[in-house]
Amino acid sequence: MNEDVVRNMSPEEDIDGLDNSEDLSSHTGGIKPWDPGKIRITTKSFTLREVVDQISDGDIDLSPDFQRAYVWKARQRTRLVESILLGIPLPAFYFDQSESGAYQVVDGVQRLSTIALFMGDKHPLSSDDLEYLSDLHNLTYSQLDPSAVRRFRSTQIVVHIIEPQTPDEVKYDIFNRVNTLGSPLSPQEIRHAMSGQRSRTFIARLAEAEVFDAATERQYWRRLSNGDVERDSARMANRELVLRFCAFRTCSMEEYREFRSLDAFLMNFTKRIDRTAKQSSISDEVLSTLEADFHRAMEAAHGILGTAAFRRWPIGAERRGPINRAVFEAQANALADHSLDKMLPHSDAIVSAFRNAFLEPDYLKAVTVGTGDTNKVSYRLERTRAILADILK
């Protein structure tokens, strides 16, 4: 493993390792906000036994690859179990219901994960973490008094269910308002929680590719206190970069203008991947092409741009900026247009030209101010492509 996996953040770098000076404002296409009348939410009550049964049957999706980033400590899990045994009502949960009737959990993943672990005898209680019921030390669910077991499994929770007919962009905004994990979910975390297995698997595969790690200087790894290293998705920032590349690689600017924001556009693209092959324009063949394009772009970024890849680093500046989303999608899409063999002989010229672009006022604005604006998206994509094409002609 590369020794440089531990990253030191610059003043302009957020916890996700991305440029936090970038303005991610929505694009302006004259499209009105969604109609509040389109919200369709029903409220139901479930017993904990019913919920755990549905989790076991696959009818409730806890998004296991998502929840790994938010694993509760044993103390938090025990305190939740104790609260239930004491009869303290739990805050409401939010589920997204699919057309098939299955549920995806956006708000309440850790609570339900804890309940499922405990009822599966996988979380013994510890007196160190119990505040009132210390006599339950080291007991598992099945070892509780029968009356306590009945009380626990019969506990009812309130679930707000966002129905399938609710438009995706409405769901996205609802989830953005209600999620209550330790810190607010990032836009990509919300998209992930709303997505299906096909898009999750595809985006994760690209985000965890060795060639992406190399191109981003292992930005999404961290060193643990014991010296080991592990992948650190950093609020799924790596997956957002992959998604933005794929979406703009596939869709035209005319398609982008149909959406009221960049978030809505990316959510729609994610949903297009998740539809069945018969319904979706994002076929297996298209995904294979996207994956090949992505790998080609990352190889070029690593082999040609090196430490200048995807960062604002104008000629003459001593310090380079953090990875910038807008720069990533522009440079990656341009690099994906050409073979590495064709570009390698011109490496120095490409690096200089890409860095000089940040000295152009219009280009700099396109990657820093209102980057979701349709005109700025179009400008940075086309300008970066033109810079590269001019060198290779």
What's the pLDDT score for residue 6?
A: 43
- 93-97/60-61 β-pairing: unpaired
Residues 224 and 283 in one domain: yes
Burial label, 257 (beta-carbon count in 10 A; 0-12, 13-18, 19+): middle
Distance from C-alpha of 176 to C-alpha of 191, rounded to nearest angstrom? 10
Per-residue model confidence (pLDDT) at position 24: 56
Residue 197 lies in a domain: no
Q: What is the pLDDT of residue 11?
A: 38
Q: Which domain holds residue 321?
A: 3-28+210-392
- Going by C-alpha positions, the residue among 341, 337, 322, 320 that lies closest to residue 381 is 337
* Helix, strand, coil in percent for the chain, rounding step 5: 55, 10, 35
**Residue 274 and residue 215 share a domain:** yes
Residues 352 and 235 in one domain: yes
Do 249 and 121 lie in a common domain? no
- Count, residues in the chain: 393
pLDDT digit of tens for each residue in the chain (393 aa)? Answer: 443 444 433 434 444 456 665 555 555 444 446 667 777 899 999 999 999 999 999 999 887 555 555 568 899 999 999 999 999 999 999 998 988 889 988 788 889 999 999 999 999 999 999 999 999 999 999 999 999 999 999 999 999 999 988 887 788 777 777 765 455 678 888 888 888 889 999 999 999 999 999 999 998 888 877 888 877 766 889 999 999 999 999 999 999 999 888 998 999 999 899 886 666 678 999 999 999 999 999 999 999 999 999 999 999 998 999 999 999 999 999 999 999 999 999 999 999 999 999 999 999 999 999 999 999 999 999 999 999 999 998
C-alpha span between 97 and 60 (Å, rounded): 9
> Residue 360 falls within a domain, yes or no?
yes
Closest listed residue to residue 311, CA positions, set 34, 55, 8, 12: 12
Q: How many domains does the chain have?
A: 2
Whether residues 151 and 222 share a domain: the answer is no
Alpha carbon separation from 184 to 154, 180, 219, 227 (Å, rounded) = 31, 7, 22, 29
63: left (phi over 0), alpha (psi -120 to 50) or beta: left
Whether residues 355 and 318 share a domain: the answer is: yes
**23 and 60 co-located in one domain:** no
Co-location of 244 and 353 in the same domain: yes
| Cα distance between residue 207 and residue 142, in whole Å | 41
**116 and 63 both lie in a single domain:** yes
Same-domain status, 370 and 243: yes
Listed residues 112, 147, 165: the one ending a domain = 165
Read off the pLDDT of residues 24-78 as tens digits, 9 standing for 90 and up: 555 544 444 666 777 789 999 999 999 999 999 999 988 755 555 556 889 999 9
Q: Are residues 228 and 112 in the same domain?
A: no
Per-residue pLDDT reduced to its tens digit, 367-391: 999 999 999 999 999 999 999 999 9
User: Could you say which of 111, 146, 165 is where a domain stops?
Assistant: 165
Report residue 165 as tokens. Answer: 């007919």
Give CA–CA dist 20/215, Å, rounded.
20
Q: Which of 266, 106, 112, 86 is nearest to 174 (CA)?
A: 106
Question: Per residue in 151-182, pLDDT tens?
Answer: 999 999 999 999 988 887 788 777 777 765 45
Share the mean pLDDT of the chain: 87
Pairing of strands 156-162, 93-97: parallel
**Assigned domain for 49 exists:** yes
